[in-house]
Amino acid sequence: MQEPLFDPPEPVEPAEEVASAIRGGKRFMDVPARAQLSYDTWCLEQLVPEDAFVRVLDAILDRLDFTAFEAAHPGGGRPAHPPRLICKLLIYGYSQGVRSSRELSRRIERDQHVMWLAHGMRIDHEVFSDFRKDFGDLFKDIFEQTVRLAASLGIVRFGHISIDGSKIAAHARRRAADQKALDRAIARVRKQIAEAIQQAEQTDTAEDEQFGDRRGDELPKELASLQARNEKLEEAMRRLQESGQEHVCVNDPDAPIQKTQDGKRPGYNGQISVDDEEGIITAQDVVPDQNDTAQFMPMAQQTVENLGRKPDEFAADIGYHSGEALSDADEAKYNAYIAEGDASTEDRYTHSDFNYDAETDTFTCPEGGTLTFRTMVRPRKIEYRQYEATHNCRQCPRREACLGMKSKARRRRLLVGPYAEALRAMREKMATDAGAAAMQTRKETVERVFGTLKEQMGLRQFLLVGLEKVRAEFSLATTAYNLRKIAGRLALDGSMMAQLGAAMK
């Protein structure tokens, strides 16, 4: 007889009865067996408290217009999930930091609030993933509706609008490839393709001898994978040559290398404009630009279109400062405050230290010297008026502050571009108390919005690939952010709930 693996447990002596008074009835409730059938009845309405955020979100989204999504489903075949329902679930997921389609699908089965929002339906993750990819261009319309809703409810006050951008990592490896790396990768993949074709031909010959003729048009899985990889590499090479940059991201060629707080990596430039009253995002976009220079007017114009009127003022940091932006803002009659960075890190006279006299078309330097117009020059394909001192600046006691310590020039020159008047006017405007106040408000308003998007809502890296799909994801995130803000105000101000029904009519 085989011996047992473990020694049998020693018998336990019965414990002495505790001489304590036990009052009548059971001391503990019976725990039902998990396999026990139950006749209890319940409904989804019982799962979610009356004041839950998901209820307010559902009420708001019921008043938005989803006809553009519905028009994309002409009918026929298997009925599709209602677009409003899928949008509700996606937006709620983003508001809670749940951006993964798989995780959202799992939440439907175990999170009572998501279960309530889904009406108890089980929805596969592919439905969310495909919907986000197929209808991404329509999400921006839902965002714009949230801006108009906030304005109609009085949450946006049309006062101060702050504009800012932030780099967000692409869904790709940190390292990007240069032309040499792409050449090596393409050569390696092409060699593997040739080897795979040769191996397939040898296999075909052997099988022909053994089994006779076969169709011969089947594409081996390994070869199909290699060909797809080769196409991706060649597309990356084409993008690299067109962009003129030194590196390209193979997995997402739309994403250029961006300078971020986490170092250089493929990414995008997220742009937002924010109202200072409640922090509502009034405009948003994603661009591949590595700086913000060209983004002031697009953000300002989108804000005016979404709100239906001009706010009292716009404010942006030095990244948006350019003569063209200032000139365009003046032409559009936008009250803009755009900071200007220091022209030099040294203790030198800058353009702002020279006074211009329009009658004589001359500049006067801080030491009293005169600079007159000499000629037209075109550095960087922009036409400038060049002014030059009429005296020998090397004899001036402040020559180092004007010409620089290492300069061998005898006279100071100034280049005046086509936007000189707009630059001068902004410089004077920023020197006022109103300019300082606008910059302080900007800092307190827009930077914390990006903090919420990244820290609380998890938007540190995009999940989708390609500029258009990334824009769709950013629209979802900013829409969810606005709805969090609107829902918070509705929860605090009960009278707003009565306005909500007529707000979007």
The pLDDT, as a whole number, for residue 200 is 53
Residue length, the chain? 505
Q: Which two tokens stand for residue 341?
A: 């960075």
Residue 185, helix vs strand vs coil? helix
Cα 196 to Cα 153: distance, rounded to the nearest angstrom: 64
Q: Which residues are within 8 A (CB) of 338 and not within 5 positions of it... i.e. 6 or more apart?
A: 296, 315, 316, 317, 318, 320, 321, 325, 326, 329, 426, 430
Give domain limits for the chain: 44-134, 179-243, 351-411
Cα 498 to Cα 332: distance, rounded to the nearest angstrom: 37
What residues form DSSP beta bridges with 26? none
The pLDDT, as a whole number, for residue 7 is 65
Cα 278 to Cα 150: distance, rounded to the nearest angstrom: 10
Residue type, 26: K
Cα 319 to Cα 341: distance, rounded to the nearest angstrom: 9
Strands 384-389 and 413-416: antiparallel
Per DSSP (E only), the strands in 276-368 are 281-287, 313-316, 336-338, 355-357, 362-364
The pLDDT, as a whole number, for residue 32 is 78
The pLDDT, as a whole number, for residue 235 is 53
Cα 74 to Cα 71: distance, rounded to the nearest angstrom: 6
Strands 336-338 and 355-357: unpaired
**Number of separate helices (H) and strands (E) present in the chain:** 16, 11
Q: Which residues of 76-101 are buried (b: 16+ CB within 10 A; e: fewer)?
A: eeeeebebbbbbbbbbbbbbbebbeb
What residues form DSSP beta bridges with 355? 364
The pLDDT, as a whole number, for residue 182 is 46
pLDDT by 10s per residue, the chain, length 505: 556 655 666 766 665 555 566 666 777 888 878 888 877 777 888 889 888 899 999 999 998 999 998 888 777 778 888 899 999 999 999 999 999 999 999 999 999 999 999 998 999 999 999 998 888 889 999 999 999 999 988 898 889 999 999 999 887 765 544 444 544 554 554 545 454 555 555 455 555 554 455 454 455 555 455 455 455 445 545 554 455 555 556 567 777 877 777 777 788 999 999 999 889 999 999 998 888 989 999 999 999 999 999 999 999 999 999 888 999 999 999 999 999 875 544 567 877 788 888 889 999 998 889 999 998 888 767 788 889 998 888 888 888 888 877 777 888 988 888 888 888 889 889 989 999 999 999 988 998 999 999 999 999 889 888 889 999 999 999 999 999 999 988 876 665 666 665 544 4
Looking at residue 431, the DSSP 8-state letter turns out to be T
Closest alpha carbon to 161 in 239, 255, 274, 53:
274
Q: Are the C-beta atoms of residues 412 and 402 closer than 8 Å to each other?
A: yes
Cα 159 to Cα 311: distance, rounded to the nearest angstrom: 5
Q: Are the C-beta atoms of residues 279 and 448 closer than 8 Å to each other?
A: yes
Residue 410, helix vs strand vs coil? coil
